[in-house]
Structures are given as C-alpha cells and as structure tokens.
Amino acid sequence: MKLLLVSALILCSSVVSAQGKYFTRDGHVKFFSATSVEDIEARNHKLTCVLDAASGQFEFAALMKSFEFKKPLMEEHFNENFVESNKYPKGTFKGSVQGLDGIDMANIPSGTNVVAAGKLEIHGVVKELELAATIESRDGGYAIHSTFKIVPEDYNIEIPNTVRDNIAKVVDVTVEAQLKAFNR
Amino acid sequence: MRLILVFAFLAFALSSTGQDDLLDLLGEDEPTQDFATAGFKTTRIINGHSFELNSHGVLDFKISHRFGRLNTGAYNLFGLDNAFMRIGLDYGVTEWLNVGIGRSGGAIKYYDSFVKARILRQQTGMKNVPVSLLWVTDLNIDANQVIDTSLLPYPFTNRMYYTNQIIVGRKFNDAISLQFMPSLVHRNFVRTKAESNDVIVLGVGGRVKLTRRVAINMEYHYVLPDQLDPKYSNSLSVGFDIETGGHVFQLHFTNSRGMAESVFLTETDGKWDAGDIHFGFNVSRVFTVHRPKRK
C-alpha cells in the first residue's frame, strides 16, 4: 500500500503540467545574410515557442519549409540543396533561460537581459549555443527577443564555390515571440 | 529494498521521457500544405516540357543549341561547326500558369509560343495529391522560305502547327521524378495523303539526381504507327542538368534538331543507330521581375 502511494505520488508530481507554461505558434524567426554580391533574407512566421516560467526551460522550433524568401528560386535552393528540408524538416532549440533568479516573473521590466543556453539543431547537427535575449512581461505573457549568429558550415550546410560569394559566412538570426499562458 | 528498486525504476523511466519535451505539450503540429517542389531543375526535361513551372513573377531566359550530327565526322568537329539555335522567354503569370515565346533559327526557322497550366499539384499534408497534372498548348509557325515553287501561293495557315499535351508527373523521392505526356499535334498542311494531319504521340520522361546539383534526364516520344513519313523517327534524348545557382545548364544528346514542340515530335529526322545524334545544350537563367505579395 505504502509502495503504491509512493509510486502514485511520484507519477503525479512528474507528469508535465501545463501550469506556468507560456507558448506561441506564430512567433517570428528571420535570417539575414549580407555579402557584397547580394543580401538574402528569409522570414518564418510560424515559429513554435514554449517557456516554462517556473524552471526557465525554453524551446522553440521552426519548419524549414516555412521560410519565405524574396526570390522563389532561393527558397527552392534553400530547401533542396542547403538545409535539405525533406530530410531535416525542423530547426529546434532546446535550452533554459538563465538569470531568472531574483526576477519577479509576474512583472519583468522591459529590456531585461537574459541568456538562453542550450542546443540548437539545424540540418541534423546539434550545437551548444548561448543566445543573448531580452524578456519582458507583456499582455499576461512574455515578449521574447533574441538575435544571434550562426555559421552555416558548422551545421554541415555545404555551399558550393559557384555561390560562395553570394552567401555570408556568418548569418544573423532574429527570433521574436509573444508568449501567452498555456491552458489545456 | 523493493521500495528503493521501484523508486530507481520510476526515476529512470521519468528522467528518460518527461523532461526535455516541452514542445510536445503543444501536441501535434498544425497540418501544412507541402507541395512537391523541384521535381525537375527547370521547366524543360530536354526538348519537351517538364511538370515544373516558373513561379509567379519569374522570367526564364532560355538559350538552346543543337549542333550538327556526330556522324558528320572530324572535318565538322563532330557537328560543332553547325548549329541550330532557339532563344526563348518563359514567364510565370501566376503560380499555376506560364506563357512563353521562342524563335528557332539556323537551317530551320520557327516562331513558337505556348501556354502551360497546372491543374493539379502534387502535395501532402492537408490534402494528398499524388501527381501533378498539367496542360500545355503550343502554337508553332514555320518561318522558312517556300523553296518548292509548285506550292505557291502558300497560304499563311499552311505554316501553323498546334500541339496539345497533357503531362502527368510525380516526384517519387528527392532523386527520381517521372512523367507521362501524351500529345496531339495538328498540322494544317502535310505533303502527302499518307501523312496524317493529326498525329498522336506518347511521351515519357524522367530524371535521376546524381548529386544535389547534377541530374541525368531522359525523354522519349513514341509516335503511333502510320502517321508520319517513314523517314521520320521517334525522338529520344538523354542529358545532364547542372545547376549553378541562378543558371541551369542542360547538356544532352538527341536525334532531334528541332526545339519547337511540333518539330521534334513529328519531324525528327535523325536515327540513333545510324549515329545521327546531335550534341546540344539549353541554358536557363531566371530573373525575378515581379514580387507577388505573400499571404
């Protein structure tokens, strides 16, 4: 009996609860590559993002095929040749927001700087990364903004010599999301 | 002891599943509409249309050459001294409609124009459509001088050729795409009663991607028997697509020298087994001339 109770207790406490979670399905992620030949920009308005305010656990994911480019051919090449969207459909980040200790989660002032440390997976390659971000309380949830840099070659994204001058070695990524309370 | 074991077991079970799937809280992703894209690298396989279209607002400038026959020997550098060429412009009017014009020059001169519409688009996700279905209609105008004076006066309508084609195609996986394309060619004027004005041609085409940027293509058109002058053959072409960014280079061998639909479908005068093979290339360069607003 005691055994059963203990097991039940552990199970209950461990089921991931919806409480204290904040999310969105329509966050923005944008990347920008600038070279002297051309600027390439792609936007994705379907970023999924979840924050556990209690633990600071923070994750986001974007479908590679949802990135929109100005030129249709760039979009085709991005999916077909560079990130291989059929093989690796999603880019994900799984980590935790650090520096939330001592912050009143109910009322975070604007421009609060934090760091999200975790793993970014693109093109099947996982890299440890620390993302500088800002977080603030807004509309009963949180507004999150982060800009960071990635090197395509770190993720085994092969860039042939014919377009080497058109694609930057370091690409700027911007993530923006307005999270709302998650109620199941 | 038993208690500890159970604890350990539970702790293990939980640590391995519970934690790192915050995103799973949201449940299944919303279904998306996933179109099969880039089944071919460009809108032609070799001579004929592939099931791909230029996107809305994209202008595709095509330059094609078919050199002379390989069996003309070293004196003509295996045909390279002699070229037929076509310059053409294709444009994406919408995502599902392309139009194009072209001029073939050299020993045979034509003007051609086409309208190409996609009726079904291969996709998965919200809807499941296993194939793409397109319709191509092509008008070809013979621009050669009439040499046989017994045919004069030669009405302009004698110069007109109409081709209607249905393309059913599927991108099976990242490497392999296949299509079936039956055509009906109407010729206003034929030289003998033995030749049909309406010619039915059954075509197949496909590609196998060798690397991310290089593919091998094949295209074959079978003319149903007793429709053409026996000197004409079925058109068979084999070639490579090489993609370099904004350009697609297509290098190939074919027994057809004509690049307009009615010409390679019904007037292919080379025979592969006799060595009447033309080396040729198409270069496609796309320009985004109009940027439609995205939804």
CA distance B212 to chain A (A): 6
| Mutation for B interface: A2, A14, A17, A57, most B CBs within 10 A | A14
Q: How far apart are CA A140 and CA A135, in angstroms?
A: 13
Q: Are the beta carbons of B10 and A11 separated by less than 8 Å?
A: yes
Beta-bridge partner residues of B283: B63, B249
For B44, the domain range is 32-288
Q: Would residue B101 count as lying in a domain?
A: yes
Mean pLDDT of A2-30: 69
B25, B56, B213: residue with CB nearest A81: B213
Q: What is the mean pLDDT of residues A81-110?
A: 85
Å between A59 CA and nearest CA of chain B? 7
Q: For the residues of B39-95, what is the DSSP string, one character each?
A: SSSSSBSSSSB-S--PPTTEEEEEEEEEEEEGGG-GGGGGGTT-EEEEEEEEEESSS
Instruction: Give the model confidence (pLDDT) of B252-285 as tens digits.
Output: 999 998 899 999 999 998 889 888 899 999 999 9
Orientation angle between helical segments B2-17 and A2-14, nearest 10 degrees: 10
Q: Is B18 on the interface with A (CB under 8 A)?
A: yes
Selecting from A6, A15, A182 the residue whose C-beta is nearest the C-beta of B3 gives A6
pLDDT of residue B19: 46
Q: What pLDDT score does B209 carry?
A: 93
- Identity of the residue in B22, B32, B288 whose CB atom sits nearest the CB atom of A50: B22
Instruction: Return the half-sphere exposure (C-beta side, CA atoms, 13 A cut-off) of residue B157.
Output: 2
What amino acid occupies position B295?
K
Bond from prior residue into B155 cis (ω within 30 degrees of 0): no
Task: Tell whether B294 is covered by a domain.
Answer: no
The first and second tokens of residue B239, run together, are 């070639």
pLDDT band at A100 (very low <50, low <70, confident <90, very high): confident
Closest CA–CA distance from residue A110 to any residue of chain B (Å): 25
The string of pLDDT tens digits covering residues B46-65 is 999 999 999 999 999 999 99
Contact A23, A50 (CB under 8 A): yes
In CATH, what is the architecture of A28-181?
Answer: Beta Barrel (2.40)
Q: How confident is the model at residue A86 (pLDDT cuts 50, 70, 90)?
A: confident
Taking the Cβ of residue B245 and every Cβ of chain A, the question of whether any pair is shorter than 8 Å is answered with yes
Residue B11: helix, strand or coil by DSSP?
A: helix
Q: Summarize pLDDT for A153-177 with one digit per residue, the tens.
A: 999 888 888 888 888 899 999 999 9
State how far the Cα of B140 lies from the Cα of B157, in Å rounded to an integer: 11
Instruction: List the single best residue of A21, A80, A82, A97 to mutate versus B (max B Cβ within 10 A).
Output: A80
B236: β partners: B220
C-beta neighbour count of A70 within 10 angstroms: 14
Chain A with chain B: Cβ pairs closer than 8 A: 89
- In chain A, domain spans: 28-181
* pLDDT the model gives residue A18: 57
* Mean pLDDT (chain A, rounded): 85
Interatomic CA distance for residues B99 and B114, integer angstroms: 6
What tokens were used for A174?
Answer: 């911007």
A184 or A134, greater pLDDT: A134
Asked whether residue B240 is assigned to any structural domain, the reply reads yes
For residue B145, give every residue at least 6 positions away whose Cβ sits within 8 Å of its Cβ, in sequence order, or none: none
The residue in chain B having the minimum alpha-carbon distance to the alpha carbon of residue A5 is B3
Q: Is residue B228 part of a domain?
A: yes
Asked if B229 has any chain A CB less than 8 Å from its own CB, the reply is no
Query: B213: domain CATH number?
Result: 2.40.160.40
Chain B residues near residue A7 by CB distance under 8 angstroms: 6, 10
Torsion of CA B254, B257, B262, B268, to 10 degrees: -70
Contact: A10, B7; criterion CB under 8 Å:
yes
Residue B8 C-beta-side C-alpha neighbours within 13 Å:
5
The whole-model pTM stands at 0.80
pLDDT of residue A176: 92
Q: What is the pLDDT of residue B24?
A: 79
Q: How far apart are CA B230 and CA B242, in angstroms?
A: 36
- The per-residue pLDDT for range A35-65, each reduced to its tens digit, is 888 889 999 999 999 988 888 888 999 999 9
Q: Which residues of B touch A161 (CB under 8 A)?
A: none
Of A11, A15, A59, the CB nearest to B23: A59
Cross-chain residue pair B10–A10, CB shorter than 8 Å: yes
Provide the chain B residues 73-102 that lie in CB contact (below 8 A) with chain A. none
Q: Which residues of A touch B291 (CB under 8 A)?
A: 70
Is residue B235 a part of any domain in this protein?
A: yes
| Residues of A whose CB is below 8 A from B11 | 10
Instruction: Please list every residue in chain A whose beta carbon sits closer than 8 Å to the beta carbon of residue B243.
Output: 81
Is A71's CB within 8 Å of B288's CB?
yes
Q: Which of B26, B28, B50, B52 to mutate to test the interface with A (most CBs of A within 10 A)?
A: B26
Task: Examine residue B64 and state whether it is found in any structural domain, yes or no.
Answer: yes
The low-confidence residues of chain B, meaning pLDDT below 50, are 15-19
Optimal mutation site among B7, B9, B25, B207, interface A, most CBs of chain A within 10 A: B25
Residue-wise pLDDT tens digits, B10-20? 555 554 444 45
Q: How many domains, chain B?
A: 1
Q: Is residue B230 part of a domain?
A: yes
Question: Which has the closest alpha carbon to B204: B165, B155, B250?
Answer: B165
